[in-house]
Amino acid sequence: MTDEGIVELFFNRDEYAIEACDLKYGSALREFGKRISGEAYVAEECANDTYLKTWNTVPPKDPRGYLFAFLSKIMRNLCLDRVRMTAREKRGAKLTVLSDELNEAAPGGDSSDSELLCGELAALISKFLRALPKEKREIFVMRYFYMEELSAIAAHLSVTEGKVKTVLKRLRDKLRIYLSVYGYDT
Amino acid sequence: MAKYSGEDIFLAIGEVDADLLAYPKRQSSYGRYAKPLAAAACFVLIVSFVVVYFVKIVFGGAMMEDKGDNMSQGSDGFDSNSGNGSGMAPGDVTSLGCEIYIYPEGHSLTATQKQPKLVLNVTNSLQIPTNNSDIITLYVPEAYADDFEINVLRVTGNYEKCAESEGIHDYLGYSSELEGIKGILILLSGEEYYFNIEISDTHATLTKSNAP
């Protein structure tokens, strides 16, 4: 079933929408969740929560054309919340690695208003990503949103791992400069 | 100025516009090389065009000459392979689309019509195997006989028209004893073509010369 068809089911409040979502994207979402949390059962629970949240938000939201990204976004945030609720020391090594990597783009301190900061940052990063060439944006998104390994990104995009590393390094530098222009301390 | 950490960015990435977060489609290994391959193909194509253009500019005149030659031969039923492939300046004998075959005496034209042994070419030096004969025969297609003033062939020896006697219908033949021939002068459409003849035991060599 196409994304448009599934979204249409959500709009029609047809419960088959959830089953259709799971059939089409369930395994990918669970895999994604497992990458974030490191636990299969957490991924499974988060996937179910993702469907519920999607049911509650579509409509009014209309993710035609980017349904998987929409689901992944919910899944990611749910999994991260779940991970953050558990003991901090139990956070996946991967989250630490990625956060450390992104520290290069933001070697700053604390924020006084993390909610506001997150929203503003997201808007700026959206703008930043929109201005990037497609391939670079894909590499950035695969690494820092979908949390893929460098080798997996290289294999998926048929480029060398070295190229992925280089692109990511340059993008982090570029992002740091970009954010500093908008008043974020670097 | 707001402060932020890598973790803030990491979390904020989860809030970017969903349309930017599409999972990329898997690229085939072909996709990896598609651009370089396309660039290489374009390069080869451009170089080919340049080379073809260059060849056309440099050799265009000669190619056109050959083409015209072959076409007119074809219209007369001649084998186009028998045309002179070498480049010739305008005004050459063959540029009018005719061939002049020179054979040693006794040689059958019809038997060798498809692949004439010798084609008189103003740019070439020709060796006529004499086969121990002391007579050479010069054939020209009858259709072009009007373009030739065969009777002005300047030879010191005896030169006689012989085609009828050999029963060849499409050609006019002129024979001459090799002995005593110093050269052949052909008048073709008002232009003179002169060939020196040197005779050895086995060959008569024709060499184009500017002056009789």
Residue B1 with chain A: CB contacts under 8 Å: 183-185
Whole-number Cα distances in Å, A163 to A28, A128, A151, B190: 25, 20, 11, 75
Name the residue facing B6 among A72, A103, A137 (closest C-beta). A103
Shortest distance, CA B10 to any CA of chain A (angstroms): 6
Residue B7 with chain A: CB contacts under 8 Å: 99, 102
Interface confidence, given as ipTM, is 0.75
- Summarised one tens digit per residue, pLDDT across range B42-62 is 999 999 989 888 887 777 655
Answer yes or no: is pLDDT of B143 > 60: no
Distance (Å, whole) CA A37 – CA B184: 102
Residue B117: exposed, middle, or buried by beta-carbon count in 10 A (0-12, 13-18, 19+)? middle
pLDDT recorded at residue A72? 87
CB A164 within 8 A of CB A141: no
Helix (H, G, I), strand (E, B) or coil at B29: helix
Is residue B12 less than 8 Å (CB to CB) from chain A? Answer: yes
Per-residue pLDDT 10s for chain A (186 aa) are: 788 888 888 888 888 888 888 888 888 888 888 888 878 888 888 888 888 888 888 888 888 878 888 888 888 888 888 877 775 555 556 667 776 777 666 645 444 455 556 777 888 888 888 888 888 888 888 888 888 888 888 888 888 888 888 888 888 888 888 888 777 665
Residue B28: closest CA among chain A residues belongs to which residue? A158
Residue partners of B78: CB distance under 8 A and separation at least 6:
B99, B113, B141
Q: Give the residue, B42 or B181, on which the prediction is more confident.
A: B42
- Identify the H or E element spanning A163: helix A161-181
The answer to which of A79-83, B125-129, B153-157, B171-175 has the lowest mean pLDDT is: B153-157
**Structure letter (DSSP) for residue A184:** B
Residue B17 with chain A: CB contacts under 8 Å: 126, 130
Is residue B37 less than 8 Å (CB to CB) from chain A? Answer: no
The answer to whether the CB atoms of A158 and B1 lie below 8 A apart is no
Residue A99 with chain B: CB contacts under 8 Å: 5-7, 10
Residue B13 with chain A: CB contacts under 8 Å: 122, 125, 144-145
Name the residue facing B3 among A108, A119, A130 (closest C-beta). A108
Distance (Å, whole) CA B23 – CA A71: 11
pLDDT recorded at residue B96? 35
- Summarised one tens digit per residue, pLDDT across range B9-47 is 888 888 888 888 888 887 776 666 777 788 899 999 999
CB B174 within 8 A of CB B74: no
Residue B4: closest CA among chain A residues belongs to which residue? A108
Give the residues across from A85 on adjacent strands.
none
pLDDT recorded at residue B185? 65
Q: Where does the pLDDT of residue B131 fall: very low under 50, low under 70, confident under 90, or very high at 90 and above?
A: low
CB A3 within 8 A of CB A67: yes
CB A185 within 8 A of CB B3: yes
pLDDT recorded at residue B43? 92
Q: A45-50 contacts: CB < 8 A, separation 24 or more?
A: A45/A82, A46/A75, A46/A78, A46/A79, A46/A82, A47/A22, A47/A75, A49/A74, A49/A78, A50/A74, A50/A75, A50/A78
Across B75-91, average pLDDT? 33
pLDDT recorded at residue B46? 92
Rounded to 5°, angle at Cα A176 from A173 and A181: 130
Whole-number Cα distances in Å, B7 to A24, A127, B61, B141: 31, 19, 75, 96
**Structure letter (DSSP) for residue A39:** -
- Identify the H or E element spanning A4: helix A3-11
Q: Give the residue, B83 or A164, on which the prediction is more confident.
A: A164
pLDDT recorded at residue B164? 46
Residue partners of B34: CB distance under 8 A and separation at least 6:
none
The answer to whether the CB atoms of A66 and B19 lie below 8 A apart is yes
The answer to whether the CB atoms of A118 and B12 lie below 8 A apart is yes
Is the sign of the CA dihedral B67, B207, B185, B99 positive or negative? negative
pLDDT recorded at residue A106? 61
**Structure letter (DSSP) for residue B26:** P
Backbone φ, ψ for residue A29 (5° rounding) = -65, -45
pLDDT recorded at residue A166? 87
Q: Give the residue, A181 or B193, on which the prediction is more confident.
A: A181
Identify each DSSP E strand in B72-202 by its residue range.
101-104, 126-129, 135-141, 159-161, 171-177, 183-188, 191-199
Helix (H, G, I), strand (E, B) or coil at B33: helix
Percentage of the residues of chain B whose pLDDT score is greater than 70: 26
Q: In 3D, which of A123, A125, A171, A117 has the Cα closest to residue B3? A: A117
Distance (Å, whole) CA A4 – CA A163: 35
Which ranges of B25-172 would DSSP assign to H, the alpha helix?
A: 29-75, 109-112, 163-166
Q: In 3D, which of B26, B8, B27, B16 has the Cα closest to residue A145? A: B16
Residue partners of B151: CB distance under 8 A and separation at least 6:
none
